[in-house]
A and B are shown apart, each in its own frame.
Chain A
Amino acid sequence: MSDTGITMKHELDMVQRPAAPSALSNALVFGWRAVLKFKHVPEQLFDLVMTPIMFTLLFTFVFGGALAGTPRDYLQFFLPGILVQTVCFNAVYSGMGLSTDLGKGLFDRFRSLPIWSLAPFAGLIVGDILRHLIAGAIILTIGLILGYRPEAGIVGVLPAFALLFAIGFGMGWIFIVLGLLIRTPMTVMTFGFTFLFPLVFASNLMVDPATMPGWLRAFVEVNPVSLMATAMRGLMGGGATAGDIGLALIAPVVLTLTLAPVTLWLYRRQ
């Protein structure tokens, strides 16, 4: 302790600011932070890995036979859907992370830095996309082992994953806004899942809506999650039209265009 006065001198040579980094470079730093979080908080990887494995296995073997004759036939229908569901559920985590960060002083530091204001959020989204990639790859691998065959081959799977990221990106804004509004991470999670469960289950993601009552079917047909699941099935199984993909992208695009400005406004307002 006693030599502080001496060591401080070295560090005190007035250090000038280097050339201002680009917005992209700022965003990548926040992305790097998201990756470090995986390293230091491996618990969150457990969630990320186990939840999709559990859902895929349970639905395939518990409901598959009853719903589609054999688990394997059901998997063929269900796998693109579980990808959409996983991405939607994953998006809740960045909202929780944001809520945690805001409860501490960390974002005050970010906000008092001369950086692109949206960079911390871009970083959250980078983290999200990594999560989507890991979870998506796990589900696809399990699916392939259990007998799922994407009929459109790799040419279908790659654009399907691109669509998946777009869906995750769009859905992410909902939970970023919730994270900014709600100070307790657990409440963000409760809100998030309360909103997501009906949206995901009342869709064509798990079952053909033919047997649902008319009023519900009317909702299921316009539910953005149904549109996403349909486009994913089309891309992976072959036969997706540009219209299918366009319909699936409506929600992510609208969410981004409306909620990104809301995010910025909420962030600056505080």
Chain B
Amino acid sequence: MNDVTRTDALSSAERIVPLAISARGLAKQFGDVRAVDGIDLDVPRGMIFAILGPNGAGKTTLMRMLATLAKPDAGSAAVMGHDLVAAPHEVRASIAMTGQFASLDEDLTGRENLLMLARLWGFRGRAAKARADDLLAAFELSDAAQKQVKAYSGGMRRRLDIAASLIVTPSVLFLDEPTTGLDPNARQAVWRMIRALAGGGVTILLTTQYMDEADQLAARIAVIDRGRKIAEGTSRELKAATGSGCLHVALADPSRIEDAIQVLQSRLGDVQRGREGAELLIMTSTTKQANDALAALVAADIELAHFSMGSPSLEEVFFALTGDGARVDEIKEIA
């Protein structure tokens, strides 16, 4: 556990807005595996909240419990003030969920999928058709409306799946890895839609394996590993703990690598050698530090082939939070 980043839920002073989700000690066990091992979560209304973690961390199980799809073994939670166990029907009336695997009928067309759901929600006749057509237009699927979903691309499926969650505007929308497996364009499109929804007042809880996705979208991020929350905070708070980013430098002359390591270590601390011979990686907490380090390299007459500054990857975040190198390798293997 890292002491810079708080793992506790929001303090009461921060609760200006009422909570959309409030969970205490949620736990779920599958056989011997504690998929979720006592998680507290407070999500204010109208916020995009990200759950960040590697595969198998318990993200999906946590979300399925909050969406009433799995019963918790221990703990309690309320969604929009309704208790998960005591009032599941009320919870379902205020949420929608888009799972990791498209929850669509592949044999039906996109429009038929939306029509079916609109009718299940209680829209009749023309109102159901109008709702389906509106959503198709909003998600740029009008051209594919009459095609069977099995002919859709990954990005189109994901968009239709999210549209299917919005037949009735939910108070809380659960998105389980909304962009996993999408190409960069499709990913951007989904991000835009998520932001637009949040702009409309929908609370969004999303899971992701990507630090930059959490960073781009979420006001708060909970980092989860092996069923436990290991950190929670705003993107800025997490970065204060993990470093705002990772500075990569590649030397023009590989023989100077020891000199470069010395210069960088004196200013920024731990230096990692990259997989390529003359590449170095350094975690930094500010761009100023990075800038100073680059200036020092120039002053020492060490020429750079190139340099770049990027968001820390999930592995780097985990390394910073847990300091557990073995765990990082494990996560790399899974990813």
Residues of A within 8 A of B (CB): 1, 4-5, 7-12, 14-21, 25-26, 29, 32-33, 36-37, 40-41, 101, 104-115, 119, 270
Rounded to whole angstroms, the CA-CA distance of A12 and B170 in the bound complex is: 11
Rounded to whole angstroms, the CA-CA distance of A7 and B108 in the bound complex is: 25
User: Which residues of chain B (112-139) have a CB below 8 Å from chain A?
Assistant: 112, 116-117, 119-124, 127, 131, 134-135, 137-139
Nearest B residue (CB) for A115: B120
| Inter-subunit contact B106/A104 (CB<8 Å) | yes
Of B70, B101, B107, B167, the contact of A105 (CB 8 Å cutoff): B101
Q: Which residues of B contact A19 (CB under 8 A)?
A: 122
- A12-B196, A109-B103 known; 4 other A-B pairs, CB under 8 Å? A1-B140, A11-B138, A112-B95, A270-B70
Q: Which residues of B contact A112 (CB under 8 A)?
A: 67-69, 92, 95-97
| Inter-subunit contact B127/A18 (CB<8 Å) | yes
Known: A104-B102, A112-B67. A14 touches B137 (CB 8 A): no
> Is B234 part of the contact surface with A, judged by Cβ < 8 Å?
no
7 nearest A-B residue pairs (beta carbon): A11-B138, A109-B103, A105-B103, A8-B196, A12-B200, A21-B122, A105-B101
Rounded to whole angstroms, the CA-CA distance of A114 and B93 in the bound complex is: 5
| Inter-subunit contact B97/A4 (CB<8 Å) | no
Rounded to whole angstroms, the CA-CA distance of A21 and B75 in the bound complex is: 33
| Inter-subunit contact B105/A4 (CB<8 Å) | no
Nearest CB of A to B201, in Å: 7
Q: Which residues of B contact A106 (CB under 8 A)?
A: 103-105
| Inter-subunit contact B107/A113 (CB<8 Å) | no
Nearest A residue (CB) for B200: A12
Known: A108-B103, A115-B120. A4 touches B108 (CB 8 A): no
| Inter-subunit contact A15/B169 (CB<8 Å) | yes
> Is B266 part of the contact surface with A, judged by Cβ < 8 Å?
no
> Is B148 part of the contact surface with A, judged by Cβ < 8 Å?
yes
| Inter-subunit contact A11/B97 (CB<8 Å) | no
| Inter-subunit contact A10/B192 (CB<8 Å) | no
Known: A15-B168, A21-B120. A33 touches B105 (CB 8 A): yes
Q: Which residues of B contact A101 (CB under 8 A)?
A: 105
> Is B285 part of the contact surface with A, judged by Cβ < 8 Å?
no
| Inter-subunit contact A111/B69 (CB<8 Å) | yes
| Inter-subunit contact A114/B193 (CB<8 Å) | no
Q: Which residues of A contact B148 (CB under 8 A)?
A: 40
> Is B231 part of the contact surface with A, judged by Cβ < 8 Å?
no
Known: A1-B185, A8-B138, A106-B105. A113 touches B92 (CB 8 A): yes
Q: Which residues of A contact B67 (CB under 8 A)?
A: 112
Nearest CB of B to A93, in Å: 14
Q: Which residues of B contact A21 (CB under 8 A)?
A: 119-122
Rounded to whole angstroms, the CA-CA distance of A35 and B222 in the bound complex is: 45
Known: A12-B169, A109-B164. A18 touches B122 (CB 8 A): yes
Rounded to whole angstroms, the CA-CA distance of A190 and B218 in the bound complex is: 48
Rounded to whole angstroms, the CA-CA distance of A114 and B90 in the bound complex is: 8
Nearest A residue (CB) for B189: A1
Interface residues on B, range: 35 or more
Known: A15-B169, A21-B120. A109 touches B97 (CB 8 A): yes
Known: A15-B168, A26-B120, A109-B103. A5 touches B138 (CB 8 A): no
| Inter-subunit contact A33/B116 (CB<8 Å) | yes
Q: Which residues of A contact B5 (CB under 8 A)?
A: none
Contact with A along B228-241 (1 / 0, CB 8 A): 00000000000000
Rounded to whole angstroms, the CA-CA distance of A31 and B140 in the bound complex is: 29
Rounded to whole angstroms, the CA-CA distance of A20 and B64 in the bound complex is: 24
Of A5, A20, A119, the contact of B122 (CB 8 Å cutoff): A20
Nearest B residue (CB) for A3: B140
Rounded to whole angstroms, the CA-CA distance of A12 and B197 in the bound complex is: 7
Nearest CB of B to A117, in Å: 9
Nearest CB of A to B45, in Å: 13
Rounded to whole angstroms, the CA-CA distance of A4 and B131 in the bound complex is: 17
> Is B89 part of the contact surface with A, judged by Cβ < 8 Å?
yes
Rounded to whole angstroms, the CA-CA distance of A34 and B122 in the bound complex is: 19
User: Which residues of chain B (170-226) have a CB below 8 Å from chain A?
Assistant: 185, 188-189, 192-193, 196-197, 199-201
> Is B166 part of the contact surface with A, judged by Cβ < 8 Å?
yes
Of A17, A29, A115, the contact of B168 (CB 8 Å cutoff): A17
Of A9, A25, A29, A36, the contact of B196 (CB 8 Å cutoff): A9
> Is B38 part of the contact surface with A, judged by Cβ < 8 Å?
no
| Inter-subunit contact A11/B96 (CB<8 Å) | no
Of B121, B134, B135, B197, the contact of A17 (CB 8 Å cutoff): B121
Of B112, B117, B122, B137, the contact of A7 (CB 8 Å cutoff): B137
Nearest CB of B to A96, in Å: 13
Q: Which of B96, B121, B134, B139 gathers the greatest number of chain A CB atoms within 10 Å? A: B121
Q: Which residues of A contact B7 (CB under 8 A)?
A: none
> Is B311 part of the contact surface with A, judged by Cβ < 8 Å?
no
| Inter-subunit contact A104/B137 (CB<8 Å) | no
| Inter-subunit contact B122/A4 (CB<8 Å) | no
Rounded to whole angstroms, the CA-CA distance of A242 and B137 in the bound complex is: 58
| Inter-subunit contact B192/A17 (CB<8 Å) | no
Q: List 11 A-B contacts (CB under 8 A).
A: A4-B140, A7-B140, A18-B122, A21-B119, A41-B107, A101-B105, A107-B103, A109-B104, A112-B68, A112-B95, A112-B97
Nearest CB of A to B127, in Å: 7
Nearest A residue (CB) for B127: A18
Q: Which residues of B contact A20 (CB under 8 A)?
A: 122
